[in-house]
């Protein structure tokens, strides 16, 4: 296995990891405020289909990405209304969102199957892309990948040293106490949920506009769920999400690695790897009960009813 | 001056009426929304709704087709009902179904020379065992590692799909099949007996009805069923009573796996007749909706299965007659669940109109706990 | 002029009067104790001072001015700070971040400057705090310091502390007292809520004692004995113990030998080499303020928690590691303190709830529930114990507290247990039901059962117990015949002062019969 192959594999890893990063970062912010949104898979598909439809209809990839984000936001608003304002069970509502999103996206996209577009092209960053190896891997990607880097930085900064991050964490920890401090719990949670929706919409747009410029029913193949596991795996820390996402991304492109190593393994068996890896990770994590308890936002998944 | 707003107020106790009405209300809202959707697509809403919901049942053949779809839904939903009553969120009926079909297909392919239909017994059992084994993974992970069952079962679903693809492209592919990713067609003795020669309806519908009666009896009349209910309702009381949570978890998950597996093997030895890349149009997920819609009681489950089965047929019907996409099925199912969740809130909460007088300062009411 | 002067404060809730005509005065620089048992009305009074609750009647004078407190933020802006018993901290945030959230926006913004202030203030008051540490890494005592410093950063005039020493080690208590003394010397008024007499006599300049919602006395703790204070807390007369004939137990049914228990939960109380015996035909009562190990002891007895096999012996069998079901088969029955959501399943019917702990009575045949027998059992309980309900199919949560408690007690007693353990059997229960429950317990005792009762109701314990003791900080006092223990002694036992008779008899044998 030579250097070029390794570089190519890592290059592909970054591409594959990007949607996971976006969804996981968005869900992380959402969960840090105490809201568990299991509807990621459905929102991802909606982002993908809306983005694709917009690209075909308007011919503008930029507008397509924007509309994908909007789709994610609208879906998450629906979720937010049910689970925050109507205080519904977050698990059931999230599942409903996934099933609904899958159904709606399949319906909307039915006449777009098989349609081709020119997707988002890679854009090399001058100078940085000249660096041997690293340049190819990180700086010859398409603009949405660069956006994921920026968004990572943003989320990282939010929780490291900003007031808003503090408020979000407070709400997620102990909404009653946060309310007593004068923080508007509902407002903070809505913002967090919407941010998650926007990120997931963007990730969906990435899938259908950049990663594989096409639309197919269920094309997200469980990435939304993997991203959910990723958030737990990363102990709700942004930097670990980055790492974990690329790791999972690597699992998804095992066929390249195997080819490089000269092995012939049935592609369907390899396709199982990301899911098996997710289970392994969940098992390893959950057995360390105390640690998960410490890193998880205390009020995660618990509906908050303000005492009037 | 008044300030009027809507507020959700908790009812003193759950409304039984709403519990019954909520699914009906949800269905009504779904129909209205569906009608609007059809109108937006340029079709007469009433005609479209008729095509979707009524036409498929316009003849006996239609009813038989409904029966073929009700069977797997009912089997899966019955198993899921047990899990959900214990508050075990098993989203893996789809994967358990697929593994049942996979295992059952393997068994069916061993009996290509069989002359008696008794071979169906080992075939069905293999299917059930496969689904059971798949659920056992989840049970093990949950009881030993406290791994969240929602995530593990979903991952297992995806793995199962890939296992199926691997099998039809590889070991179970028909050697004489022109390289299509399909198994050989099953011989007659390995197919489920039909109820009537003219229709495709087979005895799996009896499996489903039997299962729902059996599980319902278990849940309502036996000690095991009682323990499962207490565990789901109030874990603290279950602890107080000394119920063994782990054992009950295994029991619920394994039963569900076996039933979903039975549904899977019935599908491949029934209407499909072989193993192909996709043996489930999402029955495992639709079954979840059946459980919620059917209010976890046997009659409700049967009716809800019929409704969900109808959505599949409706999707096919509008595709044939009105050139609309088949994915309307998934859309209707999703809408149904959403509306159901929204309407269910009315069981525990009441919508009230709150009038606040704006000129008087409203003093915050005291917290109710006394010294 | 007092800093805070309350007069005639009254607050009633449906079913009980939490505060009745309460008056309290705290001067600047005074450390004033507010004493009383659980249910005496202390927390309601505190909530009134802090603005969480509005009184029905009475005046609130702050530095001579009549005032209405609109809410906690108003109280804070007045200079009233409160440290709750259960902290409202965010565990995964740092000390500085936690404090920042509690301050108005401008002050909270600059974390670096805030950290500096935190260090200065905490040093000044002898409470070393590192602003950068995460709250979950702090000990409970250190967490309390964060709460206190949060109050101190806001120009404090009255500091209210709710049972502050219940979670502190003796050394930390000393440290806290030093801090409070510094504060008081600087002119801050301190309201110190407690039930611990020795601390009150050591620290406080004044004390107001509440009993059943009313002021039962006030004094200067420096000038009276803790026995005097105990008497004010529990009443002047030792309650009549002659309502029921006292019995003497025969052979031991339950033996607890040197039971040691520790939990990871910082709020849980450990048990220290606890030993006791309960005999057939007697009722043993354990008095004590909540949170001193009773919950843990109950869970270990019921089987919800396990311990060393030998530590608990029932009728000759070591059962420390047995699950609840097997203990019941040996003749054990248990009435927990939580009726809804442990003793009974709220949404299930009475018929269904009857089966919860009585399945070993032949109500199950080959795995099938014999509904006729279950209904018979349930109906028997309902009739015999006069449970007012809409019938067998009534949901448990639809019953009043008293009726549900009667049902649960009935369900357990009708199992004819050899050992019945009851935790707070008449808590929150109306008089009529309480009398019936006590009759039932005495009746069961007279039929030869051994009964262990844990309660905070001292009157009740005097009425029904044949022998009595108290638990404090996981240690058990000596166990004596009820007639031989007067109220002052019991009060002292509850406060942890076991006198020269040391607690924890050796070799599992009670030192006194």
DSSP code per residue over B154-204: HHHHHHHHHHHHHHHHTTTS-TTSTT-S-PPPPPGGGSPPBSSTTS--BTH
Reported confidence tier of residue C502, pLDDT bands at 50, 70, 90: very low
Q: Say if CB B120 and CB B188 are below 8 A apart.
A: no
CATH number at residue A41: 1.10.3470
Nearest to C408 by CA among C430, C433, C431: C433
How many residue contacts between A and C have a Cβ separation below 8 Å?
A: 41
- Closest CA relative to residue A190, chosen from A88, A265, A78, A288: A78
The H-or-E segment that residue C183 falls in is helix C170-185
Question: Alpha helices of chain B — where are they, by DSSP H?
Answer: 16-40, 45-49, 60-85, 93-110, 120-145, 149-169, 204-221, 223-233, 235-241, 245-267, 283-293, 298-322, 328-348
Is residue A298 situated within a structural domain?
no
Mutate to test the interface with C, among A32, A177, A178, A288 (most CBs of C within 10 A): A177
Residue A138 lies in a domain: yes
Asked, for residue A302, whether it belongs to a domain, the answer is: no
Per CB-CB distance under 8 Å, the chain C contacts of A293 are none
- Residue A103 belongs to some domain of the structure: yes
Mean pLDDT of A286-296: 64
Q: Containing domain of residue A226, as a range?
A: 3-293
Section A165-192 average pLDDT: 86
Query: How far is it, in rounded angstroms, from Cα C118 to Cα C99?
Result: 9
Reported as a single tens digit per residue, the pLDDT across C61-107 is 998 888 888 877 788 888 888 887 666 788 778 888 888 887 776 66
Separation in Å, CA of C67 to nearest CA in chain A? 22
- Domain contains A308: no
Interface test with B, best of C44, C345, C401 (most B CBs within 10 A): C345
Most C-contacting residue of A28, A31, A34, A174 (CB-CB within 10 A), to test interface: A174
Segment C488-498, tens digit of pLDDT: 788 778 777 78
Place of tokens 């270990």: C300
Would you state the pLDDT for residue B367?
33
Chain C positions touching B221 (Cβ under 8 A) are: 368-369, 371
B residues 265..294 contacting A (CB < 8 A): 285, 288-289, 292
Distance, CA of C15 to CA of C389 (rounded, Å): 20
Q: Write down the pLDDT at residue C229.
A: 75
A147 CA: distance to closest CA in chain B (Å): 28
| Mean pLDDT, rounded, for A140-165 | 90
In a domain, A203, yes or no: yes
What does the block give as tokens for B99?
């593994």
The residue of chain C nearest to residue A296, with distances taken between CA atoms, is C92
Residue B210 pLDDT class (50, 70, 90 cuts): very high
pTM: predicted TM-score of the whole model, two decimal places: 0.82
| Partner residue opposite B341 with nearest CB, options A88, A106, A110 | A88
Residue C506 has pLDDT above 50, yes or no: no
pLDDT band at C50 (very low <50, low <70, confident <90, very high): confident
Please state the rounded mean pLDDT for residues C335-363: 91
Tell me, yes or no, if C131 comes closer than 8 A to chain A by beta carbon. no
Chain B neighbors of A100, CB-CB under 8 A = 331, 334-335, 337-338
| A169:C90 CB<8 A | yes
B155, B163, B326 member nearest A225 (Cβ): B155
Least Cα separation, residue B17 to chain A (angstroms): 19
Is B78 within 8 Å of B72 (Cβ atoms)? no
Pairing state between β C206-211 and C214-219: antiparallel
Region C354-360: mean pLDDT is: 92
Q: Mark yes or no for CB contact A104/B331 under 8 Å.
A: yes
Residues 6+ apart with CB under 8 A from A139: A124, A125, A128, A129, A131
* DSSP H helical ranges for A174-237: 175-180, 185-206, 223-233
- The count of other CB atoms within 10 Å of the CB of residue C362 is 10
**Helix (H/G/I), strand (E/B), else coil: A113:** coil
Which candidate in C162, C356, C372, C398 is best for mutational testing of the B interface (most B CBs within 10 A)? C356
Summarize pLDDT for A54-69 with one digit per residue, the tens.
Answer: 999 998 999 999 999 9
SS3 labels along C360-386: HHCCEECCEECHHHHHHHHHHHHHHCC
Indicate yes or no: CB of A166 within 8 angstroms of CB of C101. Answer: yes
According to the model, what pLDDT value does residue B221 have? 93
* pLDDT score of B364 more than 50: no
* Mean pLDDT, rounded, for B216-229: 95
Q: Are C349 and C393 in contact (CB under 8 A)?
A: yes
Task: Please determine, for residue C306, whether its predicted confidence score (pLDDT) is greater than 50.
Answer: yes
C89 at A interface, C-beta within 8 A: yes
Backbone angles phi, psi at C87, to 5 degrees: -65, 150
Q: Please report the pLDDT score of residue B369 as a whole number.
A: 32
3-class DSSP state for residue C259? strand
**Which H or E element spans position C423?**
strand C419-423
Length of chain B equals 371
Task: Give C3→chain B minimum CA distance, Å.
Answer: 24
Name chain A contacts of C112, Cβ cutoff 8 Å.
none
Look at residue B199 and tell me whether its pLDDT is greater than 90: no
Question: Does residue A300 sit within a domain?
Answer: no
Q: Say if CB C146 and CB C170 are below 8 A apart.
A: no
Q: For testing the chain C interface, which of B16, B230, B240 should be mutated: the one with the most C CBs within 10 Å?
A: B240
Of A166, A182, A295, the CB nearest to C93: A166
Q: Inter-chain contact C18–B371, Cβ cutoff 8 Å? A: yes
The pLDDT of residue A305 is: 66
- pLDDT above 90: residue C248: no
pLDDT score, position B15? 72
Q: How confident is the model at residue C430 (pLDDT cuts 50, 70, 90)?
A: confident
Token duo for residue A167: 């408020």
Q: What is the mean pLDDT of residues B169-191?
A: 88
The number of beta carbons lying within 10 Å of the beta carbon of residue C72 is 17
pLDDT per position as a tens digit, A116-128 = 888 888 888 888 8
Which helix (H) or strand (E) is A281 found in, with range? helix A273-287
Could C92 and A294 be called an inter-chain contact, meaning their C-beta atoms sit closer than 8 Å? yes
A289: pLDDT confidence band, cut at 50, 70 and 90? low
What's the mean per-residue pLDDT of chain C?
84
Average pLDDT, chain A: 87
Give me the interface pTM, i.e. the ipTM.
0.85
Is the pLDDT at B159 greater than 90, yes or no?
yes
Task: Give backbone dihedrals phi and psi of B359, rounded to 5 degrees, phi first.
Answer: -90, -25
How far is the C-alpha of B210 from the C-alpha of C154, rounded, in Å? 70
Chain A: touching chains (3 or more CB pairs < 8 Å)? B, C
Strand-pair partners of C46: none
For domain B2-28+62-358, give its CATH number from 1.10.10, 1.10.3810, 1.10.3470, 2.60.120.
1.10.3470
Read off the tokens for C455: 């309660």
Q: Say if the Cβ atoms of C369 and B366 lie within 8 Å.
A: no
In 3-state terms, what secondary structure has residue C44? helix
- What band does C163 get if pLDDT is binned at 50, 70 and 90? confident
Residue A180 has its nearest CB partner, among C72, C93, C97, at: C72
User: Encoding tokens for residue C425?
Assistant: 């059997």
- In the stretch 36-75 of chain B, residues with CB closer than 8 A to chain A read none
Residue A303 maps to a domain:
no
Give which of C508, C502, C485 is closest to C276, Cα–Cα.
Answer: C508
Q: Which residue has better confidence, C59 or C504?
A: C59
| B169 near A CB under 8 A | yes
Instruction: Please state the domain count of chain A.
Output: 1
Confidence of residue C328 (pLDDT cuts 50, 70, 90): very high
Strand partners, C209: C35, C217
Which one of B241, B243, B367 has the shortest CB-CB distance to C53?
A: B367
Q: How far is B363 from chain C (nearest CA, A)?
A: 8
Contact across the interface for C101 and A183, Cβ inside 8 Å? yes
Per-residue 3-state assignment (H helix, E strand, C coil) for A123-139? CCCCCHHHCCCHHHHHH
Interface test with A, best of B41, B90, B159 (most A CBs within 10 A): B159
Instruction: Indicate whether B246 pLDDT > 70.
Output: yes
Residue in C73, C109, C111 nearest the CB of A182: C73
Chain B: give the shortest CA distance to residue A273, in Å.
Answer: 8
- C54 vs B366: CB contact, 8 Å cut-off? yes
Chain C residues with CB inside 8 Å of B230's CB? 345, 348, 356
Sign of CA dihedral A256, A257, A262, A267: negative
**Closest-CA residue of chain B to C210:** B371
Q: Please tell me which residue, C54 or A198, carries the higher pLDDT value.
A: A198
Indicate the range of B167-171, C3-7, C466-470, C504-508 predicted with least confidence: C504-508
Residue C243: is its pLDDT beyond 70? Answer: no
Question: Chain B, 85-124: which have a CB under 8 Å from a chain A CB?
Answer: 89, 91
Task: Give the 3-state secondary structure of residue B70.
Answer: helix
In this predicted structure, the answer to whether residue A32 has a pLDDT above a threshold of 70 is yes
pLDDT of C353 reads 95
**Are B58 and B312 contacting, i.e. CB atoms less than 8 angstroms apart?**
no
Over pLDDT 90: what percentage of chain A? 45
Residue ranges of domains in chain B: 2-28+62-358
What proportion of chain C, given as a percentage, has pLDDT over 70?
89
Alpha-carbon span A200 to A61, nearest angstrom: 17
pLDDT confidence band for C371 (50 / 70 / 90) = very high
- Residue B60 CB coordination number (10 Å): 12
Mean pLDDT calculated for residue range C143-150: 86
Which is it for strands B349-357 and C16-26: parallel, antiparallel or unpaired? unpaired
């Amino acid at each position: 296995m030579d250097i070029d192959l390794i570089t190519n594999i890592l290059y592909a890893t970054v591409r594959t990891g990007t949607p996971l990063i976006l969804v996981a970062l968005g869900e992380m912010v959402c969960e840090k405020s105490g809201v568990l949104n299991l509807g990621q898979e459905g929102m991802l598909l909606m982002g993908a289909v809306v983005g694709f439809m917009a690209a075909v209809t308007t011919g503008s990839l930029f507008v397509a990405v924007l509309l994908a984000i909007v789709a994610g936001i609208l879906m998450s608003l629906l979720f937010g209304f049910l689970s925050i304002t109507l205080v519904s069970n977050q698990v059931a509502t999230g599942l409903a969102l996934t099933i609904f999103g899958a159904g709606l996206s399949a319906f909307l996209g039915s006449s777009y199957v098989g349609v081709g577009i020119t997707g988002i092209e890679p854009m090399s960053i001058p100078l940085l892309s000249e660096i041997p190896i690293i340049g190819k891997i990180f700086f010859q990607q398409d603009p949405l990948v660069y956006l994921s880097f920026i968004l990572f930085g943003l989320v990282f900064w939010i929780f490291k040293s900003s007031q808003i991050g503090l408020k979000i964490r407070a709400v997620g920890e102990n909404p009653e106490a946060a309310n007593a401090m004068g923080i508007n719990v509902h407002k903070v949670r809505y913002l967090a949920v919407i941010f998650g929706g926007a990120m997931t919409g963007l990730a969906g747009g990435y899938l259908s506009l950049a990663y594989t410029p096409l639309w197919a029913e269920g094309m997200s193949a469980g990435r939304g769920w993997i991203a959910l596991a990723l958030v737990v795996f990363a102990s709700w820390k942004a930097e670990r999400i980055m790492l974990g996402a690329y790791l999972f991304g690597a699992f998804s492109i095992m066929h390249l690695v195997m080819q490089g190593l000269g092995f012939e393994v049935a592609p369907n068996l390899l396709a199982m790897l990301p899911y098996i890896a997710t289970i392994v990770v969940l098992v390893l994590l959950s057995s360390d009960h105390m640690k998960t308890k410490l890193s998880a936002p205390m009020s995660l998944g618990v509906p908050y009813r303000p005492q009037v | 001056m008044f300030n009027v707003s809507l507020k959700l107020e908790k009812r003193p106790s759950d409304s039984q009426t709403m519990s019954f009405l909520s699914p009906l209300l949800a269905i009504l809202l779904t129909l209205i929304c569906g009608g609007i959707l059809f109108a937006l697509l340029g079709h007469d809403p009433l005609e479209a709704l008729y095509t979707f919901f009524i036409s498929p049942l316009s003849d006996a053949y239609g009813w038989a087709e409904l029966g073929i779809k009700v069977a797997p839904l009912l089997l899966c939903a019955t198993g899921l009902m047990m899990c959900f009553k214990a508050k075990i969120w098993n989203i893996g009926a789809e994967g358990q179904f697929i593994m049942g079909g996979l295992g059952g297909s393997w068994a069916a392919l061993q009996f290509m020379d069989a002359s008696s239909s008794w071979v169906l017994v080992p075939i069905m059992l293999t299917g059930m065992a496969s689904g059971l084994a798949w659920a056992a993974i989840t049970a093990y992970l949950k009881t030993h590692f406290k791994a969240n069952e929602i995530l593990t079962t979903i991952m297992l679903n995806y793995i199962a799909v890939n296992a199926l693809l691997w099998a039809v492209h590889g070991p179970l592919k028909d050697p004489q099949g022109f390289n299509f990713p399909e198994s050989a067609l099953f011989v007659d003795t390995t197919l489920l007996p039909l109820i009537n020669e003219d229709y495709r309806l087979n005895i799996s519908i009896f499996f489903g009805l039997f299962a729902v009666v059996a599980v319902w009896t278990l849940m309502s009349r036996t000690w095991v069923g009682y323990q499962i209910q207490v565990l789901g309702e109030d874990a603290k009381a279950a602890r107080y009573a000394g119920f063994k949570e782990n054992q009950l978890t295994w029991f619920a998950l394994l039963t569900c796996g076996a039933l979903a597996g039975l549904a899977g093997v019935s599908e491949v030895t029934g209407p499909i007749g072989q193993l192909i890349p996709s043996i489930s149009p999402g029955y495992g997920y639709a079954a979840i909706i059946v459980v919620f819609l059917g209010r976890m009681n046997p009659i409700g489950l049967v009716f809800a299965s019929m409704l969900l089965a109808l959505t599949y047929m409706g999707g096919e019907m509008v595709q044939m007659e009105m050139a609309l996409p088949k994915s309307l099925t998934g859309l209707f199912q999703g809408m149904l669940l959403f509306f159901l969740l929204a309407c269910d809130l009315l069981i525990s909460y009441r919508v009230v109109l709150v009038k606040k007088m704006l000129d008087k300062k409203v003093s915050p009411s005291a917290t109710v706990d006394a010294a | 002029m007092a800093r805070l002067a309350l007069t005639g404060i009254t607050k009633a809730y449906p079913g009980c009067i939490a505060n009745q005509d309460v008056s309290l005065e705290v001067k600047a620089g005074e450390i004033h104790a507010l004493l009383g048992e659980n249910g005496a009305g202390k927390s309601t009074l505190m909530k009134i001072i802090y603005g969480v609750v509005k009184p029905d009647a009475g005046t609130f004078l702050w530095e001579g001015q009549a005032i209405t407190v609109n809410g906690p933020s108003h109280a804070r802006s007045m200079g009233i700070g409160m440290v709750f018993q259960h902290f409202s901290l965010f565990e995964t945030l740092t000390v500085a971040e936690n404090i920042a959230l509690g301050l108005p926006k401008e002050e909270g913004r600059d974390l670096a400057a805030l950290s500096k202030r935190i260090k200065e203030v905490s040093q000044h008051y002898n409470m070393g705090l590192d602003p950068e540490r995460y709250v979950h890494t702090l000990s409970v005592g250190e967490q309390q310091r964060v709460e206190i410093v949060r109050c101190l950063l806001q120009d404090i005039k009255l500091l209210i502390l709710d049972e502050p020493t219940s979670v502190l080690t003796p050394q930390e208590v000393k440290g806290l007292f030093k801090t409070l003394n510094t504060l008081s010397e600087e002119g801050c008024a301190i309201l110190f809520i407690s039930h611990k007499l020795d601390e009150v006599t050591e620290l406080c300049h004044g004390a107001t004692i509440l009993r059943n919602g009313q002021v039962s006395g006030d004094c200067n703790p420096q000038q009276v004995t803790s026995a005097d204070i105990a008497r004010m807390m529990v009443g002047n007369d030792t309650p009549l113990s002659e309502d029921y004939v006292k019995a003497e137990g025969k052979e031991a049914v339950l033996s607890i030998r040197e039971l040691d228990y520790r939990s990871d939960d910082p709020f849980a109380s450990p048990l220290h080499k606890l030993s006791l015996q309960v005999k057939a035909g007697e009722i043993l009562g354990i008095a004590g303020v909540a949170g001193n190990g009773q919950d843990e002891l109950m869970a270990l007895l019921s089987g919800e928690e396990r311990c060393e096999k030998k530590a608990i012996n029932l009728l000759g069998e070591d059962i420390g590691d047995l699950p609840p079901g097997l203990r019941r088969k040996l003749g054990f029955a248990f009435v927990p303190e939580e009726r809804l959501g442990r003793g009974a399943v709220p949404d299930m019917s009475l018929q269904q709830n009857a089966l919860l702990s009585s399945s070993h009575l032949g109500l199950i045949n080959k795995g099938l529930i014999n509904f006729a027998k279950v209904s018979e059992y349930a109906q028997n309980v309902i009739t015999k114990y006069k449970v007012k309900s809409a019938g067998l199919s009534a949901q448990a949560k639809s019953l009043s507290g008293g009726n549900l408690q009667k049902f649960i007690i009935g369900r357990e007693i009708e199992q004819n247990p050899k050992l019945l353990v009851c935790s707070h059997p008449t808590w929150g229960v109306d008089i009529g039901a309480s009398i019936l429950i006590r009759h039932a317990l005495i009746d069961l005792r007279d039929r030869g059962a051994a009964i262990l009762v844990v309660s905070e109701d001292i009157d009740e314990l005097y009425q029904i117990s044949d022998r009595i003791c108290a638990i404090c900080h996981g240690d058990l006092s000596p166990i004596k015949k009820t007639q031989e223990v007067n109220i002052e002694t019991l009060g002292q036992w509850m406060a942890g002062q076991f006198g020269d008779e040391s607690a924890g008899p050796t070799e599992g044998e009670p030192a006194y019969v």
